[in-house]
Amino acid sequence: MIGAGVAGLTTAVCLAESGVDVRVDTDLPPGATTSAAAGAMWDPYLVEPADMVAHWSRVTLSDLVALSADADTGVRLVEGTHESRLPCDLPEWGSLVGAHACASDELHPGFVTGWRYRAPVVDMPQYLHYLTRRLAQAGGHIRHHRYDTLEEAMREAPVVVNCSGAEARFLADDPSVEAVRGQLVVIENPGIRSFFCDDTPGAEELTYIFPHADVVVLGGTSDRDNWDLRPDRTAAREIIERCAAVEPSIAGARVLEHRVGLRPARSRVRLIDEPREGALLLHNYGHGGAGLTLSWACARDVAQRVHAALGLIP
């Protein structure tokens, strides 16, 4: 396996728990990946192809709901609203999470449409720890190693699964992968219990508020083809201002952390096997702004392909 973000670790867990001998090789430790920087909510955002995304997000939703029963996972079911400054329709995935239209007095000032629902909100650093522990319990290992080419990895194992996120642009020589830089601010939780997302069609800025137990993650930014991992002070100030305009208690809360990650955007998720001479290469990357949302379904799909290639009965 290449990659210890949410795609790599979830795939490694599925493989190791089904009896495959797994080693995850990664340039960055799980806590330093884009996955650790994510907000993160179950939300099919910035990702294609629509038909597969609908299936993958539905499957992964039920996995995340099941995981929310265990507090150690970092997955919690949280209620909140998506709201829009323009009239718009409920997204298709709304029915999966029991979304219903908000009454006008439930909407934040300036918003004219909204829907309320309950969905998984995930503390990503904690969740990646959980996946790492689960992988170790199933006999899998993580090794710090950077590959310059996929061929180098294929000399190490008969099956290689490439979960290198935005870096697949270089490692898999795939120019259709683009980094969409995202920045977030983490604050001490001033007592916020509900999530909020501004879903105004065509909005230039992202605004969202994801409450975790002790902290709140504020978003965000979305900058195409920007690979800069340094937090930008102006962007952070603007994120706080936009979120405080929705939820005034945010204005005085202590800032704990700034996070930056690179969404691996692609015209469509690349989940495919590529037989090479004497070995099998599989790709599982390009999940855009929805890597968590699609993770379990994509991981199982990869695991099935590996089982088929190795002639294993899962």
Ligand X SMILES: Cc1cc2nc3c(=O)[nH]c(=O)nc-3n(C[C@H](O)[C@H](O)[C@H](O)COP(=O)(O)OP(=O)(O)OC[C@H]3O[C@@H](n4cnc5c(N)ncnc54)[C@H](O)[C@@H]3O)c2cc1C
Interacting residue ranges for ligand X, rule: CB under 6 A:
2-8, 25-28, 33-35, 37-41, 43, 146-147, 163-167, 171, 182, 184, 220, 261, 263-264, 285, 287-293
Q: Which is nearer to ligand X, 186 or 292 (CB)?
A: 292
Smallest distance from ligand X to CB 166, Å = 6
Q: Which is nearer to ligand X, 144 or 248 (CB)?
A: 144
Q: Which is nearer to ligand X, 56 or 111 (CB)?
A: 56
Smallest distance from ligand X to CB 168, Å = 7
C-beta separation of 138 from 117 below 8 A = no
Nearest to 133 by CA among 145, 124, 142: 142
Examine residue 136 and say whether the peptide bond preceding it is cis (omega within 30 degrees of 0).
no
Q: Which is nearer to ligand X, 66 or 112 (CB)?
A: 66
At 279, the amino acid letter reads A
Structure tokens of 81? Answer: 């609203």
Q: Which is nearer to ligand X, 24 or 306 (CB)?
A: 24
Alpha-carbon gap, residue 6 to 292, rounded angstroms: 6
Smallest distance from ligand X to CB 313, Å = 28
Smallest distance from ligand X to CB 258, Å = 11
Nearest to 287 by CA among 32, 38, 29: 38
Residues 6+ positions from 154 with CB-CB distance below 8 Å: 160, 276, 279, 281
Alpha-carbon gap, residue 217 to 39, rounded angstroms: 6
Smallest distance from ligand X to CB 7, Å = 3
Smallest distance from ligand X to CB 92, Å = 17
Residues 6+ positions from 173 with CB-CB distance below 8 Å: none
Alpha-carbon gap, residue 191 to 157, rounded angstroms: 49
Cα–Cα distance list, 186 to 149, 237, 260 (Å): 35, 12, 11
Q: Which is nearer to ligand X, 146 or 276 (CB)?
A: 146
Smallest distance from ligand X to CB 145, Å = 6
Q: Cβ atoms within 10 A of the Cβ of 188, count?
A: 12
Q: Which is nearer to ligand X, 250 or 292 (CB)?
A: 292
